[in-house]
Amino acid sequence: PLSHRQTLSTIDNIPLTITDNDLQRVSPSFILMQSSPTGANGSTIYSQPQPQPQIVHSTTRSNTMPSWRGYLPIKFESTTLDQYQMTPHFSQKVFLGGIPSELTEAELLLVLRKFGKCNIKWPKNNGINHNMPGFCHVVYRESRSVAELLKHCTRQQRSTIDYFLHIHILPTTTGLSIRTTRFKPIQVVPWNVKDNVYVMQQDNMSNNETSYKDWSRTIFVSPLHGKMTAFSLSTIMSNVFGAVLMAQINTDKYGYPTGTGTVLFCDSHSYMRAVAAGAIDIKCDCFHKLLDIDPFLRENEPCAFCPLIADLFCRNFHCLRSYCKQCWINRHGSKPLADHQPATRRQQPLQHI
């Protein structure tokens, strides 16, 4: 039988792809949230059974890129749905998707401002007009406005909770076109700031704060899906590469994910396997994403061979060192190191816990 932990001796043994025939079919076990079928203010809760996260492996060994298949791991807390809804730990920023093209910005704001003062941030390079791009971010002044918004959404329970706000679109007549009255669901994707950081508790490290600041075992991961929490990221990386000590989702000034994250491994071997892989293919019930894996390079990282500041890193399994440009040329100018590819710093630093 397949285990939940993938133990591999070399990077060459990490699977690349999984077909339907490779999947380990597991009868789902259910976690039912204890809540009434009707939420606060009469909002309807559509509940579906939530399967336990399962790690699925493939027998394919055609490439060195690792892959992970299964249900998105979630950190389930024993609380009711309504209590979860009322948590004050939401980011002020919310993602809206599936916005109908016939809906104007004024109509959308009229609905959203019922829950508190807010502004809409449209995607870059898109002007604000009547032909809306279909998605945007909404920034409220207070996080409790987000909780109030979610109270008026319908909810669908899967691996994660999907929220939908039903907008009443009024009838209009423009030329020969007639817009009839109807309700249109808009997906609402909030972010719980408690999902920013996940620390794996270990007896031998629980009181050692310096263990969480070892940059030599930290990787940078991108681009992350909007539903990837620090717990999910930690679990997946641990299953594929080895034990993880801490994972963190990088956020903007509103505490909303920027699409990048960092992972600190418990040992150097797990770290080296992740860096040497360079990427991981993740397919779960919520999304399918290819993530890039880079070594975490601090600002002002010293070169491994001279006093200068390093701005390059060799991800080859036999190097794994930081270099300034001159030392890179000196040591990688001839065979067999000439084929090594450098990585550059494009990350933001880990925040203090």
For residue 5, name the pLDDT band (cuts at 50, 70, 90): very low
77-135 pLDDT per residue, tens? 644 344 445 555 899 999 999 999 888 899 999 999 999 999 999 987 655 554 667 89
Label residue 20 exposed, middle or buried (CB < 10 Å: 0-12, 13-18, 19+).
exposed
> Could you tell me which of 90, 99, 81, 104 has the C-alpha nearest to residue 149?
90
Contact 36, 81 (CB under 8 A): no
Backbone angles phi, psi at 67, to 5 degrees: -135, 150
Which of 124, 127, 76 is CA-nearest to residue 105? 127
How far is 191 from 198, CA to CA, in rounded Å?
15
Which structural domains are found in the chain, ordered by start? 11-82+193-295 (3.30.70.330), 92-189 (3.30.70.330), 299-348 (4.10.640.40)
DSSP-derived secondary structure letter, 115: S
- Among 310, 293, 297, 323, smallest CA distance to 215 is for 297
Q: pLDDT, tens digit, for every residue of 50-61? A: 444 444 444 343
Concatenating the DSSP letter of every residue in 141-188 gives SSHHHHHHHHHTSEEEESSSEEEEEEEEEPPEEETTEEEPPEEEEEEE
- DSSP letter (8 states) at residue 53: P
Are the C-beta atoms of residues 262 and 218 closer than 8 Å to each other?
yes
For 203: left if phi > 0, alpha if psi spans -120 to 50, otherwise beta; the answer is alpha
Tokens 């492996």 belong to 57
Determine the average pLDDT of the residues in 288-317: 88
Q: Measuring CA to CA, which residue among 175, 330, 193 is closest to residue 252?
A: 193
Cα dihedral sign, 271-272-278-284: negative
pLDDT band at 184 (very low <50, low <70, confident <90, very high): confident
Adjacent-strand bridge partners of 135: 97
Per-residue pLDDT at 200? 84
Termini Cα distance of the chain = 39
Question: Encoding tokens for residue 287?
Answer: 């999304």
Rounded to the nearest 5 percent, the helix, strand and coil shares of the chain are: 20, 30, 50
Residue 181 — pLDDT band, cuts 50, 70, 90? low
* pLDDT of amino acid 45: 38
State yes or no: cis peptide before 223, omega within 30 of 0. Answer: yes
Q: How far apart are CA 76 and CA 144, in angstroms?
A: 22
Mean of pLDDT over the chain: 75
Cβ partners under 8 Å of residue 275, min gap 6 = 219, 293, 294, 295, 315, 320
SS (H, E, C) 276-303: HHCEEEEECCCCEEEEEEEECCCCCCEC
98: alpha, beta or left? (left if phi > 0; alpha if psi -120 to 50): left
Q: Which residues pair with 342 in a beta bridge?
A: 314
34 Cβ contact partners less than 8 Å away, ≥ 6 residues apart: 80, 81
List alpha helices for the chain, DSSP H. Answer: 81-85, 105-112, 143-151, 230-240, 268-277, 325-332
Residue 158 binned pLDDT confidence (cut-offs 50, 70, 90): confident
Q: According to the model, what pLDDT value does residue 213 have?
A: 65
pLDDT exceeds cutoff 90 at 26: no
User: Minimum mean pLDDT among 120-124, 179-183, 318-322: which range?
Assistant: 179-183
